[in-house]
Amino acid sequence: MHRSLLVAAAGSKRPRTAASSLAAARRAFQSAAHVENKLRLQVKEADEEGAALHDSTISNKEYLQHSKNERPIWTALRGRALLNEPALNKGAGFTPEERDTFGLTGLLPHEVHSLDQQCKRAYSQLQERPSALAKYTFLSSLRDQNIILFYALCLRHLNELLPVIYTPTVGEAIQKYSTIWRRPDGLFLSYAHRHKMREMMMQAKRPKDVDLIIVTDSEGILGIGDQGVGGILIAQGKANLYTLGAGIDPSRILSVVLDVGTDNSALLNDPLYLGLRRKRVRGAEYDKFVDRFCELVREEYPQALLHFEDFGVSNASKILTTYRNKQSVFNDDMQGTAAVVLAALLSAVKVTKSELKDQRIVVFGFGTAGYGIADGIRNALMLEAGLSSEEVRKIFWCVDRPGLLTTEHSPTLRPGQEHFIRNASEVSSWERDAEGRISLLEVVKQAKPTILIGCSTMSGAFDEEVVREMAKHVERPIVFPLSNPTKLAEADPADINEWTNGLALMATGSPFPPVKTPRGKEHKIAEANNGLLYPGLGLGVIVSRASFLTEKMITAGVAALAKMAPALDDPDESLLPPLSDLRHVSVKVATAVANAAKEEGVSQIKRDDPFSQDEVRAAQWDPVYRPLELVDRH
């Protein structure tokens, strides 16, 4: 039976109810409401005492307290069928009344445990796993059994578990996907079955059940390159962050891998490999395949945000450019990284009491991430500061493998990079190395940048000479060594802090510990984690039912994030809010994005009044047990 006939959210016309279950269902509702009230009291008491609930890293627990979580869910499932439905299974959390009503008595141990007790037990079991990958597989299994418990556990220990359920552990899991595979999750669109694409998509999810589609072709996964069908795990990892960070209903997210083969010889020679065993489809056939997929999303899922993830360098920009004006699309590698870095930069320039348009910016490493960051800054300066394309170009110095990029490199540039190159004639007197390249150090000496951004994956590239040279010419250097993982960062923040006498404003791509300033204070390093922004962007698109994700919507989300920087109140604090505040952050970002969509006329909800934070909060899915009510399936 189709899932829509088995699960229904309260609020619509009441379905025909089994008479024998009505009294028990009401008792279950009252019992669940009692539990929720008890939880509220626990939260209130903990807050009044200035303590967190148990060992949670969540600073805001309003998701436990919303009235929407008291509405019952209707289902016709009973017995083991209910226990095997991860979206409804509560395990030991089923109340006595629910156990009687749904035929669960005898199928569960006697004691009823709260969600908090279950999280404690699951966390204890998790701690017994010997490695990050073992923890990842444990959590994946937990999600397959009980979705609410999985998300509740992760949200309680977000800082600790984010590296497990996402980067870097998911990279290891992807590489071993065909070895550790247990059960399918997501949609696998193989090039071999390209003529059945519509049918496959309809089997996976009905259009009205989808708010968000996350798709990858697995060519550029997390710095480990082409991983074939295993890329489905990166889409699922992003989906988890959308739910944890913004409260997007996991049942309304579709994770997709476009399996067009792989050029990874290790996978092609692996007898256990689960994907399409052929070299990657490229050129016109690849473009046609992607176009057909995007076309079907436009036709069948017109309200869904389409999130592109980890496409190869040669395709990422082209795909975004092609489809951003046709439907609501987002590329996290190009737009997400740029947006969160831009938020950190806006915070930094406010601390220095200057403006972004007055900066001199050096970008070291001008691949997908470096170009995306520069392009995001460019768009913001043109939209918000009114600068022309030429005026923006004069702010940037971009350094890549050939050294400083100038007009002499024009034939080798990718589309869009031409907006950031310097005229060769203006740097003709600059010193060059034996291979004719203008080095990073020479650029810093000549350009005297106020901002230095690293996306090169070259560990140690921001060495003492480079950083001290920069500090000669600016009082508060803004230095962002963004390459990750940690071992690939252009510099250690502790070294940058020392070389600038504690005056540098920093953000990194991976977590680093705080550093001590000469003033004896502890300076917290901002982590430019995309997860701080893109969940809120997605929620804003969904709440407003935006037909496009525009640059002004992204800029509105960036501005909202920048306003929450702790450094604005204390310069020794972080330039970005902590991940532990993610749900709170996402509500503010989503509200700004939704209102920008309304102002630009791309919201499909016609209204005069602005979207409110309360309205956005009410749209979030929360990992709490709602009461269940039995309905007659006939």
CATH number where 135 lies: 1.20.1370.30
What is the spatial distance between Cα 462 and Cα 492, in angstroms, rounded to a whole number?
9
Amino acid 362: pLDDT: 98
CB-based contact 215:234 (threshold 8 Å) = no
Element (H, E) at 144: helix 132-145
Nearest to 422 by CA among 449, 393, 457: 393
The one catalytic residue in 136, 151, 166, 625 is 166
pLDDT above 90 (res 5): no
Each residue of 432-473: pLDDT tens digit?
A: 999 999 999 999 999 999 999 999 999 999 999 999 999 999
The pTM of the full predicted model, rounded to 2 decimals, is 0.87
Look at residue 555 in the predicted model and tell me its pLDDT.
Answer: 94
Confidence of residue 293 (pLDDT cuts 50, 70, 90): very high
Residue 619 β-bridge partners: none
Q: Tell whether 357 and 400 lie within a shared domain.
A: yes
Quickly list H helices, 301-431. 313-323, 337-351, 368-384, 389-393
Residues 340 and 397 in one domain: yes
The answer to whether position 551 is within a domain reads no
Are 449 and 360 in contact by the 8 Å Cβ rule? The answer is yes
pLDDT over threshold 50, residue 51: no
Q: Which tens digits make up the pLDDT trace of 100-158?
A: 999 999 999 999 999 999 999 999 999 999 999 999 999 999 999 999 999 999 999 99
User: Which helix (H) or strand (E) segment is 189 a member of?
Assistant: strand 187-190
- Residue 473 and residue 511 share a domain: yes
**Closest alpha carbon to 216 in 204, 200, 203, 232:** 232
Res 382 pLDDT > 60: yes
In a domain, 8, yes or no: yes
pLDDT at 572: 85
Q: Quick one: average pLDDT of 501-506?
A: 95
Rg for the chain, CA atoms, rounded: 26
Give the CB-side neighbour count of residue 242, counting CA atoms within 13 A: 29
Quick one: which H or E segment has residue 7?
Answer: strand 7-9
Q: According to the model, what pLDDT value does residue 19 have?
A: 39
Annotated binding-site residue? 609: no
Q: What pLDDT score does 26 carry? A: 42
Pair 221, 267 in one domain: yes
Q: Beta-carbon neighbour count of residue 282 at 10 Å?
A: 15
Inform me whether the pLDDT recorded for 535 exceeds 50.
yes
- Do the domain assignments include residue 247? yes
Q: Are 147 and 185 in contact (CB under 8 A)?
A: no
Q: What gap in Å lies between CA 342 and CA 230, rounded to an integer?
A: 31
Average pLDDT score, the chain: 89
Same domain assignment for residues 371 and 502: yes
Identify whether 238 is a catalytic site residue.
Answer: yes
Q: Which of 9-13, 324-328, 345-349 is the least confident region? A: 9-13
CA distances from 150 to 79, 146, 339 (A): 21, 6, 29
Query: In this prediction, what percent of the chain has a pLDDT beyond 90?
Result: 79
pLDDT digits 0-9 by tens, 383-426: 989 999 999 999 999 999 999 999 999 998 888 899 999 999 99
What is the distance of C-alpha 212 from the center of its chain? 12
333 annotated to bind ligand: yes
By the 8 A CB rule, do 476 and 351 touch?
yes
The verdict on whether 534 is a catalytic residue reads no
Within 13 A of 232's CA, how many CA atoms are on the CB side?
23
Same domain, 415 and 302: no
* Beta strands, E only, 543-608: none
d(Cα 266, Cα 604) in Å, to the nearest integer?
47
Reported as a single tens digit per residue, the pLDDT across 219-243 is 998 778 999 999 999 999 999 999 9
Q: Are strands 7-9 and 73-75 parallel, antiparallel or unpaired?
A: antiparallel
Q: Which of 238, 524, 588, 598 is catalytic?
A: 238
Same domain, 95 and 48: yes
Tokens of 56: 């949670």
- The SS3 assignment for 609 reads coil
138 occurs within a structural domain: yes
Q: What is the pLDDT of residue 634?
A: 61
Q: State the pLDDT at residue 2.
A: 41
pLDDT for residue 222: 74
Instruction: Dump pLDDT digits (tens) for 304-324.
Output: 999 999 999 889 989 999 999
- Domain around 306: 185-327
CATH number at residue 494: 3.40.50.720
Q: Are residues 390 and 472 in the same domain?
A: yes
Q: Is 569 annotated to bind ligand?
A: no
SS3 522: strand
Q: How confident is the model at residue 619 (pLDDT cuts 50, 70, 90)?
A: very high
First to last CA, the chain: 11
Answer whether residue 58 shows pLDDT above 60.
no
Does residue 595 lie within any of the structural domains?
no
Q: CA 388, CA 470: separation in Å to the nearest integer?
A: 27
**Please, is 111 exposed, middle or buried when counting C-beta atoms within 10 Å of its C-beta (0-12, 13-18, 19+)?**
exposed
The percent of residues in the chain predicted with pLDDT above 70, rounded, is 90
Q: Could you give the CA distance from residue 130 to residue 87 in angstroms, rounded to a whole number?
A: 28
Going through 485-567 in order, the beta strands assigned E by DSSP cover 505-508, 515-516, 522-523, 526-527
Number of CB atoms found within 10 A of residue 59's CB: 13
Considering the domain architecture, whether residues 135 and 284 belong to the same structural domain is answered as: no
Q: How far apart are CA 349 and CA 346, in angstroms?
A: 5
pLDDT class of 30 with cuts at 50, 70, 90: very low
Domain count within the chain: 3
**Mean pLDDT of the region 162-182:** 93
Would the pLDDT of 38 be above 80?
no
Q: Averaged over 58-74, what is the pLDDT? A: 74
The answer to whether 497 is a known ligand-binding residue is: no
pLDDT at position 65 is 74
Averaged over 362-384, what is the pLDDT? 92
Domain ends where: 301, 327, 353? 327
In this structure, of 16-30, 199-213, 252-266, 530-544, the range with the lowest mean pLDDT score is: 16-30
> Which domain CATH number covers 225?
3.40.50.10380
Tell me how crowded residue 198 is: count the other CB atoms within 10 A of its CB.
Answer: 14
Say yes or no to pLDDT of 25 above 80.
no
Predicted confidence (pLDDT) at residue 28 exceeds the cutoff of 60: no
Last residue of a domain, one of 532, 551, 574: 532
> What is the mean predicted confidence (pLDDT) over 268-282?
98
Judge whether residue 57 has pLDDT over 50.
no
Judge whether 579 lies within some domain: no
pLDDT at 62 over 60: no
Residues 152 and 20 in one domain: yes
Mean pLDDT for the stretch of residues 153-174: 92
Joined tokens for residue 536: 């809120």
Taking the CA atoms of residue 120, residue 616, residue 526 and residue 380 in that order, the dihedral angle to the nearest 10 degrees is: 160
Residues 304 and 341 both lie in one domain: no
- Is 381 among the domain residues? yes
Cβ proximity of 626 and 88 under 8 Å: no
Mean pLDDT (whole number) for 537-544: 98
Please tell me the least confidently modeled range out of 163-172, 174-183, 491-500: 163-172
168 Cβ partners below 8 Å, 6+ apart? 132, 222, 485
575: in domain: no
291 annotated to a ligand binding site: no
Lowest pLDDT segment from 295-299, 473-477, 527-531: 527-531
**Cα–Cα distance for residue pair 69/86, rounded to 1 Å:** 18
The vertex-554 CA angle with 336 and 474, nearest 5°, equals: 75
- Region of residue 504 (left: phi > 0; alpha: psi -120 to 50; beta: else): beta
Task: Tell me: do 214 and 321 sit in the same domain.
Answer: yes
**Domain's final residue, options 327, 360, 387:** 327
Cα separation, 294 vs 492, in Å, equals 41
SS3 363: strand
Tell the residue number behind the tokens 């409401």, with chain if given: 33
